[in-house]
Amino acid sequence: MPLHYVYLVFAVIAETIGTTALQASQQFTRLGPSILVVIGYGLAFYLMALTLRHMPVGIVYAIWSGLGIFFIAVIGWLVFGQKLDLPAVLGLGLIMAGILIIHLFSKTSGH
């Protein structure tokens, strides 16, 4: 796996941790999760910036945000008990399909 994809994977993980901590911070009223939000997003943007050395911003952002949406929806369902109805599940499936199409078939994805 090219190093810029490793950066992108860890950027998605950091963003997912930051967004999960955002929910747990209870609107920044809890210090620990609030600090984790800042660290998570800071690391995510730094790693995404490293990825941008090798990939176009539109592709990086599509993959980063799409995977983030998918993972946060799953975490919201598993950890926070948030409901996902059929249209939400179908929409998440379409997001994942779009990411796979970009990764597998696009020549602009930098692989």
Question: Which pair of structure tokens corresponds to residue 85?
Answer: 């109805």
**Domain, as residue range, for 88:** 3-109
Q: What pLDDT shows up at residue 57?
A: 94
Question: Which pair of structure tokens corresponds to residue 24?
Answer: 């747990």
Question: DSSP per residue over 18-77, as a string?
Answer: HHHHHHHTTTTTSHHHHHHHHHHHHHHHHHHHHHTTTS-HHHHHHHHHHHHHHHHHHHHH
Q: What pLDDT shows up at residue 106?
A: 86
pLDDT < 70 regions, the chain: 109-111
- Global pTM reads 0.88
Which residue type, as a one-letter code, is found at position 9?
Answer: V
Q: What pLDDT shows up at residue 52?
A: 96
Number of separate domains in the chain = 1
Q: What pLDDT shows up at residue 110?
A: 63
